[in-house]
Chains A and B, each alone.
Chain A
């Protein structure tokens, strides 16, 4: 087991190097001069522009810029944004907010989705199952910004139950509404996935054996059916956690959440290379860790899966 984990971590190094290189290249290849955009519609004088270029190393060829950046990272220096804040500080400020939001959304979608999916699966074809199908189809087919705007309008403005946007420091109570919005789509998918998996598991031999042995439904459903049905659901939810951590740009924008997605979006618009690359590097790291955790979870859920040294 330890050897397996060690090998996986070793494998992550070339992946990280490769992705930072690619991302840096793409930011570099972005057309337009970010420094010119700093001046708005006004044209700066060439001497000043030249000095700013030198300061941000924008006058160097791509490969030099990349190695300067890599060298900085090794010294713990991720660079600075145009507003003078170290990128490491931005990372430390935004990731906790997004992680909090992602955990809340994950909790909502997983608990809600598995419960409803389980009941649907056990009562296949009944009224509950049919209505769960309709509701989940509605959520799957709606784009997230529609859900976000409607949620903001109804719960924030009309009813006043939640703050319209997230206030400074992103306290938990402000994040509830965005978390529900984020959870809504995956929630519906988890319902469908759990339902299908439960139906399949129910018809397997070991379940029939368990009934045959005279075990009660109260024991068979959670221990035999649910546990074995969860494997695909856990994989899905864990990958989704990665997506939640990096892809909540739209929702974070609408609810003004000071998290990763919103900050990254702004950095891309402003052409701040160091910020973009550092964020994406951390995101890749998170993806790698999440994937490793998922693989290890399999072993816990299904003892037949063993890790080869």
Chain B
């Protein structure tokens, strides 16, 4: 026994010195240090759905799908789209797009990546009877229907490397959306057995599954480099292993214990200490997540009239966002100055009317009194609903207290036990209070924060807000081909929102994360997910 142990020790020593020697060797040459074959470990969570691009709408599966597939575009660290499979995306009118893709690309099983593989995948994702969670991404393409099976007539294959997309109406930011996973191509073999494909997907991205049973449910998934990938996300490491954690605390403990290389979510319990634990390996930057609470117009005193606007503005100015983000979130949230996010191109913190998001107790009291003159508030309670399974109680209580102390009204939180229960009450419109709302953008564009949430009858317009001027500005911004002009229209639309306040903006979530000493070049993308392909490990 002793001899064996000694033997192993000797081997380990030899290996260590060999490593040290090779380290010296590569250090003295020009090649970057860090072996390109080392596999990094990163935190993840068990995907909620089978790994099919059009059916994956949460980050647990999303980060795997993004590693396995390459779409027409990808988003770089700043959120700017870069061509990946596409060679060019052209349009004259923002309604018909001609997309050319690079020739001779293949999936890892040899199936060609051509125009047909995109068109078929989109048709599959859009068809109602396929029940794909991301089907709404295709809603703007001609032929799409929510209510029946209807093919996307707007998709036409011109030749093996060219296809055209015709939209129902102009959407200037359509090319910007094409980096999202719903628009990834699928190999022909996928359609034979989509269930089996969802368990062991075959892609064309920077990574591929290490084996057919690489997805060990609830434990981890092993990805290795796909050597045939030629796009801009060429991996600088030998692969990624996503370890699935049930709690962020366990993942954080693993990072400190040296078992995890890249972490993208620091648990609440470590907010106070992680920056000292991790030093310059800690990450804390704004992300594309916007938090607010929505006050439906059907609530008494909050209609779309003079009184409602005064009360909304008063509530907004009664909230001390700086103090709450500091004390409750320990600096891991950034007070909001609009309805979008600082990581989005075109974001501005100096919109006209953004003062309403600054803490101003005197003005708040004044506006509230003016509203009382129109119709007295009386003993009405003001409540903010939240789901108590998501760690929201702290800030909801703080916001309520801030309102209570400033305006002298009875304000409190209204907890729902689960997220599902709260969503049900919001969706069937039975909720009779204000409620917390959050939005994580699907693609880095201003429109994505505005259209789905506040346009008349939009899918996630939970407060039933409607303003024709706002709709018209969104429409104008969508029909232009000039990005600067479009953003200008969207910002004007936001200025209307700042007057009407259908939702009270609170703050942007920051992405908090960190990395171990053995990895470097850890950068977070616009969507709060690390750019795994760029990470190097020594």
Interface residues of A (CB under 8 A from B): 30-34, 36-48, 51-52, 55, 82-85, 89-90, 93-94, 149, 152-153, 156-157, 160, 163-165, 167-169, 252-256, 258, 262-263, 265-266, 269-271
Most B CB within 10 A of own CB, among A44, A152, A156: A44
Q: Are A168 and B256 in contact, CB atoms less than 8 angstroms apart?
A: no
20 residue pairs from A and B, CB less than 8 Å apart: A32-B420, A33-B424, A33-B427, A38-B49, A39-B57, A41-B423, A41-B438, A41-B460, A45-B459, A83-B47, A85-B199, A94-B218, A149-B249, A152-B253, A163-B259, A164-B250, A168-B216, A262-B218, A270-B48, A271-B420
A-side contacts of B57, CB under 8 Å: 38-40, 42
* A167–B146 alpha-carbon span in the complex (Å): 44
Q: Using A47-B146, A84-B195, A90-B217 as known contacts, say yes or no to A165 and B259 having CB atoms under 8 A apart.
A: yes
Interface assignment of B261: CB less than 8 Å from any CB of chain A = no
Among B130-138, B153-161, B367-375, B513-521, the stretch that binds chain A is B130-138
Q: Are B128 and A93 in contact, CB atoms less than 8 angstroms apart?
A: no
B-side contacts of A40, CB under 8 Å: 57-58, 440
Cβ distance A148 to chain B, nearest Cβ, rounded Å? 10
A-side contacts of B128, CB under 8 Å: 47-48, 51
Cβ distance A7 to chain B, nearest Cβ, rounded Å? 39
Contacting residue for B257 out of A41, A90, A163, A252, CB 8 A: A163
B-side contacts of A149, CB under 8 Å: 249
Interface assignment of B437: CB less than 8 Å from any CB of chain A = yes
Cβ distance A170 to chain B, nearest Cβ, rounded Å? 8
Contacting residue for B131 out of A42, A51, A93, A253, CB 8 A: A51
Q: With CB as the reference atom, state the residue of chain B lying closest to A35.
A: B420
B-side contacts of A44, CB under 8 Å: 133, 136, 459
A-side contacts of B151, CB under 8 Å: none
Q: Are B421 and A32 in contact, CB atoms less than 8 angstroms apart?
A: yes
Q: Using A84-B198, A254-B247 as known contacts, say yes or no to A164 and B259 having CB atoms under 8 A apart.
A: yes
A-side contacts of B135, CB under 8 Å: 45, 48
| Size bracket of the B interface | 35 or more
B-side contacts of A152, CB under 8 Å: 253
Contacting residue for A84 out of B50, B148, B460, CB 8 A: B50
* A262–B247 alpha-carbon span in the complex (Å): 10
Cβ distance A139 to chain B, nearest Cβ, rounded Å? 22
Q: With CB as the reference atom, state the residue of chain B lying closest to A169.
A: B219
Q: With CB as the reference atom, state the residue of chain B lying closest to A162.
A: B257
A-side contacts of B459, CB under 8 Å: 42-45
Q: Are B219 and A258 in contact, CB atoms less than 8 angstroms apart?
A: yes
* A160–B438 alpha-carbon span in the complex (Å): 40
Interface assignment of B389: CB less than 8 Å from any CB of chain A = yes
Interface assignment of B254: CB less than 8 Å from any CB of chain A = yes
Q: Are A84 and B199 in contact, CB atoms less than 8 angstroms apart?
A: yes
Cβ distance A3 to chain B, nearest Cβ, rounded Å? 42
* A33–B428 alpha-carbon span in the complex (Å): 11
Q: Are B259 and A52 in contact, CB atoms less than 8 angstroms apart?
A: no
Q: Are B48 and A164 in contact, CB atoms less than 8 angstroms apart?
A: no
Cβ distance A247 to chain B, nearest Cβ, rounded Å? 16
* A210–B128 alpha-carbon span in the complex (Å): 82
Cβ distance A119 to chain B, nearest Cβ, rounded Å? 31
Contacting residue for A168 out of B148, B219, B437, CB 8 A: B219
For B240-281 the 0/1 string (1 means CB < 8 A from A) is 000101110111011011110000000000000000000000
Can you name 5 extra interface pairs (CB under 8 A) apart from A45-B459, A152-B253? A41-B439, A43-B427, A83-B47, A157-B253, A168-B216
B-side contacts of A51, CB under 8 Å: 128-129, 131
Q: With CB as the reference atom, state the residue of chain B lying closest to A81.
A: B217
* A52–B217 alpha-carbon span in the complex (Å): 23
Q: Are B48 and A32 in contact, CB atoms less than 8 angstroms apart?
A: no
Interface assignment of B112: CB less than 8 Å from any CB of chain A = no
Interface assignment of B452: CB less than 8 Å from any CB of chain A = yes
Q: With CB as the reference atom, state the residue of chain A lying closest to B247.
A: A253
Most A CB within 10 A of own CB, among B416, B420, B424, B438: B420
Interface assignment of B349: CB less than 8 Å from any CB of chain A = no
Interface assignment of B462: CB less than 8 Å from any CB of chain A = yes
Q: Using A41-B437, A51-B129, A269-B389 as known contacts, say yes or no to A36 and B424 having CB atoms under 8 A apart.
A: yes
B-side contacts of A157, CB under 8 Å: 253, 256-257
* A93–B213 alpha-carbon span in the complex (Å): 14
Q: With CB as the reference atom, state the residue of chain B lying closest to A52.
A: B131
A-side contacts of B437, CB under 8 Å: 41
Q: Are A45 and B250 in contact, CB atoms less than 8 angstroms apart?
A: no
Contacting residue for B418 out of A32, A84, A167, CB 8 A: A32
* A36–B198 alpha-carbon span in the complex (Å): 21
Q: Are A31 and B424 in contact, CB atoms less than 8 angstroms apart?
A: yes
A-side contacts of B146, CB under 8 Å: 45-48
Q: Using A163-B259, A168-B216 as known contacts, say yes or no to A84 and B427 having CB atoms under 8 A apart.
A: no
B-side contacts of A253, CB under 8 Å: 246-247, 250
Interface assignment of B422: CB less than 8 Å from any CB of chain A = yes
Most A CB within 10 A of own CB, among B131, B146, B439, B459: B131
Q: Are B50 and A31 in contact, CB atoms less than 8 angstroms apart?
A: no
Q: Are A164 and B256 in contact, CB atoms less than 8 angstroms apart?
A: yes
B-side contacts of A45, CB under 8 Å: 135-136, 146, 459
B-side contacts of A43, CB under 8 Å: 427, 459-460, 462
Q: Are B195 and A165 in contact, CB atoms less than 8 angstroms apart?
A: no
* A95–B456 alpha-carbon span in the complex (Å): 51
* A255–B251 alpha-carbon span in the complex (Å): 9
* A48–B129 alpha-carbon span in the complex (Å): 8
Q: Are A258 and B259 in contact, CB atoms less than 8 angstroms apart?
A: no
Q: Are A31 and B250 in contact, CB atoms less than 8 angstroms apart?
A: no
A-B pairs with the 4 shortest C-beta distances?
A: A32-B420, A32-B421, A164-B257, A37-B420
A-side contacts of B136, CB under 8 Å: 42, 44-45
Interface assignment of B104: CB less than 8 Å from any CB of chain A = no
Interface assignment of B376: CB less than 8 Å from any CB of chain A = no
Would you list which residues of chain B between 432 and 450 have a CB under 8 Å from chain A? 437-440
Cβ distance B269 to chain A, nearest Cβ, rounded Å? 9
* A94–B419 alpha-carbon span in the complex (Å): 26
Most A CB within 10 A of own CB, among B250, B256, B259, B421: B250
For B23-60 the 0/1 string (1 means CB < 8 A from A) is 00000000000000000000000111110000001100
* A34–B147 alpha-carbon span in the complex (Å): 22
A-side contacts of B243, CB under 8 Å: 168, 256
Contacting residue for B254 out of A33, A34, A94, A164, CB 8 A: A164
Cβ distance A116 to chain B, nearest Cβ, rounded Å? 29
B-side contacts of A83, CB under 8 Å: 46-50, 217
Q: Are B417 and A31 in contact, CB atoms less than 8 angstroms apart?
A: yes
Cβ distance A267 to chain B, nearest Cβ, rounded Å? 10
* A94–B218 alpha-carbon span in the complex (Å): 9
* A253–B257 alpha-carbon span in the complex (Å): 17
Q: Are B249 and A41 in contact, CB atoms less than 8 angstroms apart?
A: no
Interface assignment of B63: CB less than 8 Å from any CB of chain A = no
A-side contacts of B452, CB under 8 Å: 42
Interface assignment of B220: CB less than 8 Å from any CB of chain A = yes
* A89–B249 alpha-carbon span in the complex (Å): 27
* A165–B136 alpha-carbon span in the complex (Å): 39
Contacting residue for B420 out of A34, A169, A266, CB 8 A: A34
Q: Are A32 and B419 in contact, CB atoms less than 8 angstroms apart?
A: yes
Cβ distance A181 to chain B, nearest Cβ, rounded Å? 13
Q: Are A266 and B133 in contact, CB atoms less than 8 angstroms apart?
A: no
A-side contacts of B217, CB under 8 Å: 83, 85, 89-90, 93
B-side contacts of A38, CB under 8 Å: 48-49, 57, 133
